[in-house]
Structure 1
Amino acid sequence: MSEPTDTFVFTCKDHFVDIRSYKTPTATQAAFPFDWAFYGEVVRPADGGEPTYTHTIDSRYINALATLGKEKAQIYLLPDNANTVENEQGDEVEVGEMLNPDTMEIEKFVEIWRPLDPLRGSQKTPIGRTELYNHDFNDDEKANCLVLLIETEGFKGKLIKIGSWAQAFLQDTSIDGIAGLTVVRAAKIDGTDEWKDLISWGTFADSVPVGSDIYAQFDKVGASVTVNKLIWKRLL
């Protein structure tokens, strides 16, 4: 197994934002330094079957529109089917089927996921799931998890903040291709109240809410805040 990207998936309830930035982008990849960026929801069957992961906005789909056309590019929006088990190291092993963009076939895949400490935004060292589950979160820290959606007409976007981490992906639907996309990943520096952008890419990066003061304004579900002309509303 190998992993050419820094892959972070932020999940809250059944909402997720998945950003996979190249560790060392080539000259060709530098124009859009992401192998994949998408967000969606987890759909869990009532019968307890394997969940599926929908793709509300998908960079691979948007990139394929210009070459394949809308009908053929739809294959990139097919939901992924997957199930997970925990291995002996405490990692989450995800096994399922999804589109392989290199072969354009639905193929089996295996991904291994490791959790980060949600309250240490400067720390990328994974922690064990037992440690995560036994973490002593206080009520304030739990309430500080947010799922935000863009309400501005002509835009789609989602931000998920978990503790000291935040990640967002959005699209200006009036612009074709990757030029209409914006990606932001941010973290709060340990021991401070200062937030730092780890990734800030796209025209509307400054319209993504980042910072303790602005997160405090989303004090309840349904609260709306305008950031540089984009309206964000708290969903969860």
Structure 2
Amino acid sequence: MQQLSLFETTNTLPIEYYPGFLNNTEANTLFAQCKALAWQQNKSRMLGKPLQVPRLECMYGEPGASYLYSNSVTLEAHPWTNELLYVCDRITVKTGFAFDIVIGNRYRTGLDSIGWHSDDEPSMGYRPAIASVSLEACRKFSIKPKIKGSKSTHFWLEHGSLLLMLPRCQEGYTHQLPKDDKCSLERINLTFRPNEWKSALGQVLAYAGFHPNKTARIHLFGTILESSIIVQTCASLGVKVTFEEDWHG
């Protein structure tokens, strides 16, 4: 399958592409290790009906981190594995961006996919950078501006490559990994992301250590679900929480 060059398109798209970010031996080893991760098949809701997500998913990262998407699927972070943390650190060195979690997507064949979407969930904070490592099967990745009638740019992500979606990408563009009936190989995609809400929870937990049985104040952010998780966690520690829209301390 022919690899389409990104160098002609990255100057107009908010992305950076690094083919061979992992050499072939490193990519093969990581792919084998990733097969043993805690994969699960989740269900999202479409028009009120539960539908199986057409891929397997998992999430690893900082303690207490969670990720809600499509207002129906919540991923909870397993502790970092040594291998995933090593890759995360390498990406930070390469790109200058730091990340708190990694979401794994396992496409078992070309029939597994993900539709047009933007990764703009509040838990990642304002204008996040997202780094995507591709392993095994070479699949087509499509991206287009959110402006109606815009044309898509298509290219193939190679085994061991790194695609960096820069800040502003999610607010201005949408992307997908479409089905490929001709692909029988498996693909694992690791997307490294920031996770802002876990910092807020960490702040409250630190407060709990010094001020038991008192009320912690925290800036309002994220979703109702994320806020309720914070409240429940702190309640188990004997700490009440109030959310204030204008609090920054």
- Considering Cα pairs closer than 8 Å and 6+ residues apart, tell me whether 1 or 2 has the greater RCO: 2
Normalising by structure 1, report the TM-score: 0.23
Q: Which has the larger radius of gyration?
A: 2
Larger strand proportion of the pair: 1
Normalising by structure 2, report the TM-score: 0.22
